[in-house]
Each structure stands twice: as C-alpha cells, then as structure tokens.
Amino acid sequence: MKVLKQSQSIIVSGESGAGKTESTKYILRYLCESWGSKMGELEQKILDANPVLEAFGNAKTTRNNNSSRFGKFIEIHFNERFSVVGGFISHYLLEKSRIYLKRGCTQFFCNKTTEKLLAEDRKSQAQKRKGPLRDPMLDDVNDFSAVDKALSNLGIDPQDRLAIYTTVAAVLHLGNIFFEENPEDVKGGCMVSPGCEQSLSIAAELMGVDPEELNQALLARVMQTSKGGLKGTVIMVPLKVHEANGARDALAKALYSKLFDYIVHRINESIPFFSSSYYIGVLDIAGFEYFPVNSFEQFCINYCNEKLQQFFNERILKEEQALYEKEGLGVKKISYSDNQDCIDLIEMKGAGIIALLDEESKLPKPSHTHFTSAVHGNHGNHFRLALPRKSKLRDHREIRDDEGFLIRHFAGAVCYQTEQFLGKNNDALHASLEALVQESEEKFIQNLFTNNSEVKQPTRGKLTFISIASKFKTHLQELMDKLASTGTNFIRCIKPNVKMVDHEFEGGAILSQLQCSGMTSVLELMHQGFPSRAPFHDLYNMYKSFLPQQLSRLDPRLFCKALFKALGLDDKDFKFGLTKVFFRPGKFAEFDQIMKSDPENLKILVAKVKKWLLQSRWKKAQWCALSNKILYRREQIVIIQKNIRMYNARKRYAPKYKGIIQIKGLQSLNSFECCLIEYFLRLGFFFDAPWLLLTIILLHSLHLALDSSTSTSKEIPYKDGSQRICLKMSTLRTLNLEGSEIKLEIGFIKYYYAFSFIWFRNYY
C-alpha cells in the first residue's frame, strides 16, 4: 500500500476448519499494532469486533467447532500518513436456517461448574435429558463474559446489551413452540401443542407483544380480497401444521437476522472514519463445504468460493502470465483449470440455476421437484452438472433425480438436495406477523423492523420479489468489483487433518486441497517466475532520497541496473522487463533491507555505484569507438565490392557491347544484304551478336567486291575467294568472346561460306 499508493485486499480462503477466522484475527492485530497509535481505543474496538461477530455469526459443524456461518469483509482505513483512522465491516449471507433446524450436536450454555447455579425450573426438557456442555475445549461462561465486555467497549450501553440478549432469548423460546392439528377446526387449522403455552407466553413477553396476538399470528394469516382492482374484505386463513412451523421459523429468522444487522451497524458506528486515503480489506468467508446433506446455504457458499477461485486464477495465473509475456520475460506458460463454465451454470441469465430458482418462486404453486427437473432439462449435457445417482456416495445415489442435482465444483463434486431451496430463497414474513412485531412495546424490537439499514424490498407480489439468491448474487458482484479495484493478496489456509488435532498431517488430504485450490499451478509458476516486481520509476522514487544528487539524476532504468550491479546481485535473481524489474522469491526483501540499512553502509554502496558507472561508461566509450571502426570498414568493403563487380562486368560484357555498337552502325546495309540475312535466318542459322556481326562484315565486303568487279559470273574466281575467306576465318579461331575461348569449326565455316558463294553465283 505504501509503495504502490493503492488500497489492498487480503483474501483468506480454504476449506471449512482450515483456520481462516484465526488467520484473520492475526492479520487485524498486526495491522492495528503496527500502524495504529500504540493500540489506542480505536484499534481495540476493531479487535473487539471479532469476538462479538464470532458469538453471533459462528456455529459448530461436523467439520469445525467454530465455523463462520457468514462472510465478512473488514476494512481498516488509513490516512495519508498511513495511520489507522477507522474501519468498516460488510457481511454476507448469514446462514439463518441454523436458527431453527435441529442439529445432531445440541449443547447448553452452562457447564458442570455453573449448572448448580441454574434453577431446576429454568432448565428445558432437552437439557434435563442430555445434560450440560461436554466439550472441554469450550467455556461458554468465560466466552460470554468476553463478549459482554467487547460489546461494552464498542459503546453499547447495558440497556442495549440487555435488549440484545432478550432478543436472542425470544428466538430460543420461539424454537420451543410446536404445533399439532386442531380437531375442532373444520377448516383444517392447527393449534399450539400442549406444554408449549409457557414458551409462547415467554416469547411474547420478550418480544413485547400480546401472547394471544402472537398465537393468532402464528396460527393464521391475513388475506385481503380484491375485486376490480379494489381492496375488499380482510379474512383470516387458518394455517396447517407445516405452514405454522414455517411462520414460526420465518419469525425467528427475521428476528435474529435483523439483530445481527443491528450489531454490525453498531460496530461500524463505533469505528467511524471521516476521511480515508487508503484501506486494507480482509475477506473472511465460509470455506468450501460438502456435508452428508447439502442445501441452499451450501449452494450459495460454494458459489461464492467458485467466484473467489476464478478471481484467484485471473489475478495469480492468467494476469501474471499475460504480464510476463507483455514484458518479454520468456517464462514458460503454466496450464490451470478454468471454472468459468461452473459459474455460468449457476449465474447465467435466463437459464442459470439462480434464474430458474427465481422463476419457480414466482409461480402460483412452486415445487422443488419442478425446479429440479427444469435444472436438469436446461443443462442435461453440461459437464459440471450430473444426476444424484452418479454420485460416489451411496446416500446421494438414493436421491431421486427430481429431488437434487450434483455439481462438479473446483474442489470436488457436491450433491444438493432441493427440498428446502424454495423456502430458504424467500423467507419473508407474512403480513400479520410483520405488523405484530412493528407494533411491539419493546422499542428495540420495534426499531429492528422499522429502521432497518437495508432498503426494504417488496414482498407482497410474486412478480416483484427479490430472492435471497439474487440479493446474494448482487452483493457478491459488488464485493468482486471492490476486490478488483484494489491490490490483491491471497492467503491459503490448509487443513492438516480432519481430527482437528495438532502435530498430525494427512498427506493425501493436504495434496487434494493444494490441487483443488490451484496452488500446484501457482507454485510451479512461482518456481520459474518472478512474484515480486516494481516499475522502474517507483523503485527510483523509493530510494532516490537515500542517494546523492549526482546519482539521483540518472535514468530510472540505468539507476536500477547500477544499484543491482553495485550490490552484487546475481543476474538469476532478477530480470528487467520493458517497464518493470522482476525479482525471484525473497530477493526483493533482501534488496529493500540493504537499501534501508545504516548510513555507513549506504556510503559504501554509493561508492560502488560510482565505480560501476565509470566502468560502464568507459566500456561504452570503447564499444562506441570499435563500433564506428566496424561501421567504417563495412562501408569501405561495400565500395571495394562495388568496384570489383564493375570491373568483372565490363570485362565480361565489353565484347557484346562493342558488337552491339557496330551492329547499330551498319545501318547503311542495302536491301540485298538484309534479304541475305533474312534468308539465312529462314534456313535455321541463328547467330549471337559477334557471329552475326562477323558474317555481315564478310558478306558486306564480298558484296562490295562483286559490285566493283567487271568480270562476268563465269569469270569470278570463286575458288580463290573461298580460300581467302577460310584463311581469314582461321585467324579468328581463338577469338575471345564473352570471357571464354570459343573454337571455330573450320569445316562448318567452309560449308557455310561455300554455300554463300554458291548462292552468290546463282544470284549473279
């Protein structure tokens, strides 16, 4: 953050129970202690938020005793001097179904030491049967004291803390209310089971509402008739047993969810910031989950982890290799598994699983079997989707095809049962319960439902409601955009064993986690790559103040090169790109430590830099002189080659050129000579320029001799003329034409010129 002048994000990821929450605590403590004002009140409040959020947002699972059942993004804000000025917490997807679902691990908030302080009439029937807490690793008494103290430090007064505990108690008592069919109701309604009236009365008292009104709101819902667009009579519709259970659970979820929102809001109010230059955000979200029974919550959690894994692939693998290629480092490409197709399967518009779930929720009579069939019908051939019977687990193979689907996630295949998908995707209260809590006599409860920080969404119309999955998808995209706008840092938590004990490592499980999270590809890339890098200008500005003025005027690239050479860094430890310098793992920290060491060491470093610069400039001068000499010789060699080629060309083509000139000079040939040449050409005698020239010259001289002679044709000495011509041709036997010795065949010449004389004789 200080170097790049950019806000940063730290993404802590790993499977459930790997230690993400504990790692987040250490990160926050380090930031507050290192950059805070000596652990002042503000820094302590930021740290006190952790036990409060854990108390209200974590729960015990089969794989983790303290599992985060929500996601949180904690921002630590800094001013321009990089001091902590405040914080902000955003939370995502609280697992509200845990409030009402019966788990196999029931525990009670007292141990053997404090059980005697609890009156017998205050113990529930389940507590009397199962006894007190048996986990020696947990101490709810001390943990509750720590949470109460943290709430006090966060500025929540005793009255508000009591209201918080009262609301939690109301939720617990709502869970003790059960229903059964009412034999006296002819409309098929239900009633509160005998023995639950006390829980109903206590819950109503804690919520500040009338017990009879609460009983009526849980057993019936209000419906208003309409005709022609006008509102009509209000009637009460009795609820069946499963519908009453759903109304009770919806009320409990709404109470606890709004209470959790209130607590997060109060924490943010206690750590405000009025101006912020940068921030460091720490993301701690539930890890990848796969249980014997996986429902809507696991679907959303694993969808979130798919998005984070894709973000990890893009930032660490895809963008890293693209940067290496852009900077020209020549690093071999690393292959990795892309999970974009799995994300498209879930969030695709129109045909994605979330879109199909929302469409099913808008139907007059939604059905989870119809929704599941639609998923398989739209994506039957998708690689990531499969039928439950293709699962490797026997329990999953017994699930019907219209009751679940199997998704092949990056961390493994998970089979989801869709029975409760529709209900969990739309957990709105019906009108009578919502109106009841809004008119509560307890101001705290009333404010929870009237002054909610979130924008109230319409719930009365099936065509206008916004589902839980859609809201989570929107919030998740906002989170991903925020992460993309910051510098990202990743922390991978690896679970060493499933027994949750120390000093025990299961190699197969660890290797599987590394492979599924993409760490093997990252480690391979880091082994041959350069994880640390800095632009030349940033590195130059970072250490410019440590150097004298004569060195600070250097070009940033030359400045970095001089520093590395002066420090004696191995060329294998760093590599220069086009705009950045890249370091091998751990080498940038060594370089930074040397640069920020004591002044005496810096003087020695400056002397080494000067020495290297002088040597570099002298070598450069030598190279320039040698380069100029090489260039001069290269130019002269070209000139010499040109002259030699010209001489050879003249020697080779001079005879041809002279012959062509002489031929052009014989423009005075009469028609007889032209006819003679044409006659020879028709006979098939082809001559090149010298032969043709020689023939024409001889024939021309012969023609002149015949024209000037007064002898008749019978008196012409043909034999003597032929001998004279042969004698002249013999002197040309070794005539040098075109640079080679051409030997003339005397027999051919005799035949040729004898034929010529015969022709002349007949002609004349």
Which residues are documented as binding site?
Answer: 14-21
In 3D space, the residue among 686, 675, 704, 703 whose CA is nearest the CA of residue 752 turns out to be: 686
Name the one residue in this structure whose structure tokens are 């996601």: 71
Give 625's contacts (C-beta < 8 A, 6+ positions apart).
none
Q: Are 403 and 417 in contact (CB under 8 A)?
A: yes
Structure tokens at 588: 């940038």
Structure tokens at 255: 């109470």
The Cα 288–Cα 338 span in angstroms is 17
The Cα 543–Cα 80 span in angstroms is 20
How many Cβ atoms sit within 10 Å of the Cβ of residue 296? 22
Q: What is 486-541 written as a DSSP string?
A: SEEEEEE-----SS--SS---HHHHHHHHHHTTHHHHHHHHHHS--EEEEHHHHHH
The Cα 406–Cα 572 span in angstroms is 48
Structure tokens at 127: 């507590």
Between the two ends of the chain, the Cα-to-Cα distance in Å is 114
How many Cβ atoms sit within 10 Å of the Cβ of residue 429? 20
Total count of residues recorded for the chain = 764
The amino acid at 381: N
**Is the Cα torsion angle 548, 553, 559, 562 positive or negative in sign?**
negative
The amino acid at 648: N
Can you say which residues are annotated as belonging to the binding site for ATP? Answer: 14-21
Q: Are 416 and 401 in contact (CB under 8 A)?
A: no
At 119 the three-state DSSP class reads coil
Structure tokens at 378: 């739209």
Residue 236 forms beta bridges with which residues? 222
Q: Are 469 and 343 in contact (CB under 8 A)?
A: no
Vertex 415 angle, CA 409 and 420, to 5°: 120
Q: Are 126 and 176 in contact (CB under 8 A)?
A: no
Structure tokens at 489: 């840092």
**Is the Cα torsion angle 59, 65, 66, 69 positive or negative in sign?**
negative
SS (H, E, C) 598-618: CHHHHHHHHHHHHHHHHHHHH
The amino acid at 277: S
Residue 532 forms beta bridges with which residues? 583
Name the one residue in this structure whose structure tokens are 């015990």: 60
Vertex 114 angle, CA 112 and 115, to 5°: 65
Give, as one character, the DSSP assignment of residue 317.
I
The Cα 15–Cα 26 span in angstroms is 18
Phi, then psi, of 363 in degrees rounded to 5: -70, 155
How many Cβ atoms sit within 10 Å of the Cβ of residue 189? 20
Phi, then psi, of 238 in degrees rounded to 5: -65, 145
Residue 731 to residues 136, 382, 742, Cα–Cα distance (Å): 129, 97, 13
How many Cβ atoms sit within 10 Å of the Cβ of residue 282? 22
Q: Are 349 and 372 in contact (CB under 8 A)?
A: no
